[in-house]
Amino acid sequence: MNNVILPLDSGIATLPLAGGKGANLARLARWGFPVPPGFLVTTPVYHAYVAANGLQAVIDAALTSLDPAQADPAALQAASETIRGAFAAGALPPETAAALRRAYAALGEPPTAVAVRSSATAEDLPETSFAGQQDTFLQVVGADDLLTAVAACWSSLWTARAIGYRARNGIPHAGIGLAVVVQQMVASEVSGVLFTANPLTGHRGEMVIDATFGLGEALVSGQVEPDQYVVDVAARRIVRRQLGAKATVMRGRAGGGTTTETADGSRRQALPDDVILRLAELGTAVAARFGTPQDIEWAWADGRLFLLQSRPVTSLFPLPDALPDDLPLRVMFSFGAVQGILDPLTPLGRDLLMGAFAGLATLFGQPRTLQTQRILYEAGERLFIDVTHLLRHPLGRRLLHAALRLVEPGAAQALAAVAADAHLQPAPGWFRPATVGRLLRFFGPFLRRVPAVLRRPERARMRMQQGIDVLITDMAHRGRLATTLAQRVDLLEELMRSGFARLLPLLLPPVVSGLASLNLLTRLANSVGHDVLLLTRGLPHNVTTEMDLRLWQAAAAIGQDAAAREAFARRAAAALAADYLAGKLPPRAQTAVADFLEAYGMRGVGEIDLGRRRWREDPTQVMQTLQSYLRIPVAQAPDAVFARGAAAAETAVANLEEALRRTRGGKLKARLARLAFERMRALAGLRESPKFTMIQVFGTTRAALLASGEALAAAGLLDAADDVFYLHAAELREMAAAPGPGWRERVAARRAAYAREQQRVQVPRLLLSDGRAFYEGVTGAAAGDLTGSPVSPGVVEGRVRIVFDPVGTRLQPGEILVCPGTDPAWTPLFLAAGGLVMEVGGMMTHGSVVAREYGIPAVVGVHQATRRLQTGQRIRVDGSVGVITLLEEA
């Protein structure tokens, strides 16, 4: 049996042969780290056992009835029991048993106590640790017990928890195998776990050590409260220590197996300080060799440290690869949080945004390219904005804090804590005289136009729209002229270089004027205790609101036609979408949907990413929303609700004027409030226009690149047209110059990385260059209540509907929409929703703005709302104070 039982330091102990644990231990042994001696029982031995006992048929039959999406515990347990029963009834092939006996005898004079550990090919991976899913047997003594333990390890590949874990993480059952690590037992005086980066905060400069007396199994299985030590790696100093009870001690028995005893270890530190620091140094060396933070199991015996296992710390949010090292600490803010979307971005989508910011820097007299820009950085397939220079200047800090309070209050809270860090000492940063001069020269002409805009807001708004129309027409014309991949990459790079240069002169003066009017109105309203949010109800000229009302008009047209109404009542949304694309909807419905998509088909979920599909390509979400709209009672028609909101705003400003007149200088204040209200109503709705214009331009560029993708797929260079978005701009240019093999494999790896990141439950609002990550939203105040930022006033009670993707969602009228965040593609759901709860967002994010205009109570920045609430629960949402109260369980 060549290469089926290997020495622990074998150079061929790869993941497929030795499993994750075995491969990592083999590397540690080869690198000279203190690893107990032993051997590896490789995966071919497992597969030989399965074949010899006819187990594959049993496995296949047991798994056939499982639904991966449901992961029903009872069904998982039943499948596991069937499979493991068959494993227990099997017999080792004679040659396997003989080889194991020889390897065991070579470890030393019997009876040698060994640890027998499972090592699956799907564990201890960079993206999924799979820790603890298979069995370990300690203090195994004698060859017969070793053979039994090895077979039991193989069987543990099919525990209910291991089957469920693979299903949840998209790891196929077919083809997996399990190796077994056999090592001499270490009679641990103290043992534990070392994290070479702080797993709670993400800090890469801190190590966390858990330690207890005796064997570490009591710790990893949760039977004991250990000591915990936190080490500052750079200073070689223990910065925090907490002594645990350590009330249970596990030790090996001479004849085999383990025993536990009770003890009071709360007054004794398990590991001396000097050993703690030695262990931290060892951890630093291990992490450096692996190139990533490690979770290390260790033991201390007879004055020596031993490493028993090492695997990646998969819970850490990754850091950007290319951060400059000119500052001791950098602070980055989630770009996705501004957009209300925390999904990953495709490689080409990231390129476009990073290139656009490079173009913006060039406008400010700081020439940058996609490669040299230093504003946006990629981490976890997402983008983060470097705000360090703003934080290091008092004025910049105030401006940043004020801006974040509007768009992401949770991030503003975290930022206030971070700003006190000693590494963020005041410095000129971007506020050097030369930089300020460049900013003034750039923004000065726009700001000088603000008074004219405020004098004649309607004229300014019309001129802005005319300029946008010219820009869109020009980009569409360029898109038609670009017929080769190289020309289309040129178009993309031109958009990066000049996008902001063309958009800002058009959009900045009216948008700034609208926000300035709103700010003045807010100050006046606050001075007499009035809620300014009431003044923003039914706000006109918001392109997102107009889009939703346009879709309502399409629903109304469909509802007036019997054939169209019946089709939408009976058929699934996906079937309706397919019929539309084939031109087979009932004529009234085909026309209504076509008219809507002609105006808004370039939109879609996650539309800020050039690589995400648009409604014109797949209108399933549009069909689902239309089906929801057709169930809305006439009295709750969105256009009527919007009109009532506008009337309520007029009443609110009249009440505000009356209240101001009763104050000192009241007549002037009341007149000022009326002027600010009128200009706010004329201009504040334009806040959504910059992004909508950008998405229109993106739509033209995406369509052109998809045409090239179709040609490349037809030529066999790519698998699908949209594979082009999983390549970078430079790679597309390379492909255009020299088409060749290898691109499909590169795209497959990128798609896999994107899919893994889609499974990430939490994304930090703030990310620091030392690894610290801040996830929290607004903290709660009352026991049992969830709290966040109030962004749309009113109180509503209703049933919760948790939604992670608007595609596939048919919201029932009055349900409370609870979601991670929203972009404009989500907002059609708002017309059916009774209220809104989001995990991210602030006063001026898309969802908040639209919720106010529809009069939907909304609370945002609610930490882990989608995990703390459940679909079907009845809750009260108070959008005036930011409190969510549970009224009834599902």
For 320-355, what is each residue's pLDDT tens digit?
988 888 889 999 999 988 777 789 999 999 999 999
Longest distance between any two alpha carbons in the chain, whole Å? 101
Are the CB atoms for 328 and 40 separated by under 8 Å? no
pLDDT at position 410 is 75
Instruction: 22-31: list long-range contacts, CB under 8 Å, 24+ apart.
Output: 22/119, 22/179, 22/180, 22/181, 23/119, 23/124, 24/124, 24/290, 24/309, 24/310, 24/311, 25/181, 25/183, 25/307, 25/309, 25/310, 27/289, 27/290, 28/286, 28/307, 28/310, 31/289
**Lowest mean pLDDT across 198-212, 810-824, 837-851:** 837-851
In the chain, count H helices and then E strands: 30, 26
From start to end of 356-455, where are the E strands?
376-379, 382-386
pLDDT at position 402 is 83
pLDDT at position 169 is 66
**Lowest mean pLDDT across 535-549, 586-600, 618-632, 841-855:** 841-855
Q: Is pLDDT at 657 greater than 90 in this prediction? A: yes
Q: Helix, strand, or coil here: 707?
A: helix
Q: Helix, strand, or coil here: 427?
A: coil
Q: Helix, strand, or coil here: 758?
A: helix
Q: Is pLDDT at 557 greater than 90 in this prediction? A: yes
Separation in Å, CA 401 to CA 46, 404, 433, 731: 58, 5, 22, 38
For 127-164, what is each residue's pLDDT tens digit?
554 555 688 999 999 999 999 999 999 999 998 888 87
Cα angle: 540, vertex 850, 868; to 5 degrees: 170
Q: Is pLDDT at 362 greater than 80 in this prediction? A: no
pLDDT at position 430 is 61
CA dist 466 and 452 (Å) reads 17
DSSP code for 248: E
CATH H-level superfamily of 190-312 = ATP-grasp fold, B domain (3.30.470.20)
Q: Residue 310's beta-bridge partner residues?
A: 296
Are the CB atoms for 241 and 330 separated by under 8 Å? no
Amino acid present at 710: E
Buried b (16+ CB within 10 A) or exposed e, 325-357: eebebbbbbbbbbbbbbbbbbbbbbbbbbbbbb
CA dist 556 and 743 (Å) reads 47
CA dist 864 and 552 (Å) reads 32
Count Cα atoms within 13 angstroms, Cβ side, for 840: 28
Count Cα atoms within 13 angstroms, Cβ side, for 57: 4
State the average pLDDT for the chain: 90
Are the CB atoms for 84 and 148 separated by under 8 Å? no
Residue range(s) in the chain whose domain bears CATH number 3.30.470.20: 190-312
Catalytic entry in 203, 541, 846, 863: 846
The mean pLDDT value for 106-135 works out to: 76
pLDDT at position 780 is 47
Q: Residue 250's beta-bridge partner residues?
A: 214, 260
Counting every residue, how long is the chain? 890
**Lowest mean pLDDT across 248-252, 412-416, 464-468, 614-618:** 412-416
Are the CB atoms for 819 and 802 separated by under 8 Å? yes
Which of 259-263, 750-754, 826-830 reaches the highest mean pLDDT? 750-754
Does domain 5-184 fall into CATH 3.30.1490.20? yes
Residue whose C-alpha is closest to residue 883's, from 762, 774, 791: 791
The mean pLDDT value for 478-495 works out to: 93
CA dist 70 and 93 (Å) reads 37
Q: Is pLDDT at 124 greater than 80 in this prediction? A: no
Are the CB atoms for 713 and 462 separated by under 8 Å? no
Which residues have a Cβ under 8 Å from the Cβ of 455 and sit 6 or more positions away?
A: none
pLDDT at position 855 is 78
pLDDT at position 293 is 96
pLDDT-derived band of residue 1, with 50, 70 and 90 as boundaries?
very low
pLDDT at position 368 is 79
Q: Is pLDDT at 885 greater than 90 in this prediction? A: yes
For 187-237, what is each residue's pLDDT tens digit?
999 999 999 999 888 999 999 999 999 999 888 877 788 899 999 999 999
CA dist 153 and 87 (Å) reads 10
Q: Helix, strand, or coil here: 631?
A: coil
Residue whose C-alpha is closest to residue 688's, from 798, 603, 571, 567: 603
Are the CB atoms for 608 and 845 separated by under 8 Å? no
CA dist 766 and 329 (Å) reads 13
pLDDT-derived band of residue 789, with 50, 70 and 90 as boundaries?
confident
Count Cα atoms within 13 angstroms, Cβ side, for 609: 26
Look up residue 662 and give its two tokens. 């009763």
Q: Taking the CB of residue 391, how many other CB atoms lie within 10 A of it?
A: 24
**Lowest mean pLDDT across 125-129, 203-207, 370-374, 874-878:** 125-129
pLDDT at position 187 is 94
CA dist 685 and 10 (Å) reads 67
DSSP code for 782: S
Residue whose C-alpha is closest to residue 416's, from 20, 562, 408: 408
Which residues have a Cβ under 8 Å from the Cβ of 60 and sit 6 or more positions away?
A: none
Residue whose C-alpha is closest to residue 831's, from 673, 682, 626: 626
The pLDDT > 90 percentage for the chain reads 64
pLDDT-derived band of residue 703, with 50, 70 and 90 as boundaries?
very high
Are the CB atoms for 615 and 547 separated by under 8 Å? no
pLDDT at position 123 is 61
Q: Is pLDDT at 434 greater than 80 in this prediction? A: no
CA dist 846 and 685 (Å) reads 11
The pTM score is 0.84
Are the CB atoms for 787 and 605 separated by under 8 Å? no
Which residues have a Cβ under 8 Å from the Cβ of 685 and sit 6 or more positions away?
A: 514, 539, 540, 541, 542, 545
Dihedral sign from CA coordinates of 708, 710, 711, 716: positive
State which H helix or E strand residue 148 sits in.
helix 143-155
Q: Is pLDDT at 266 greater than 70 in this prediction? A: yes
Catalytic (active site) residue 203: no
Q: Helix, strand, or coil here: 296?
A: strand
The mean pLDDT value for 758-769 works out to: 88
Q: Taking the CB of residue 135, how many other CB atoms lie within 10 A of it?
A: 17
The mean pLDDT value for 48-58 works out to: 94
pLDDT at position 69 is 56
Residue range(s) in the chain whose domain bears CATH number 3.30.1490.20: 5-184
Separation in Å, CA 643 to CA 506, 540, 551: 29, 10, 16
Are the CB atoms for 574 and 620 separated by under 8 Å? yes
Q: Taking the CB of residue 429, how many other CB atoms lie within 10 A of it?
A: 15
Are the CB atoms for 294 and 313 separated by under 8 Å? yes
Distance from chain centroid for Cα 245? 37
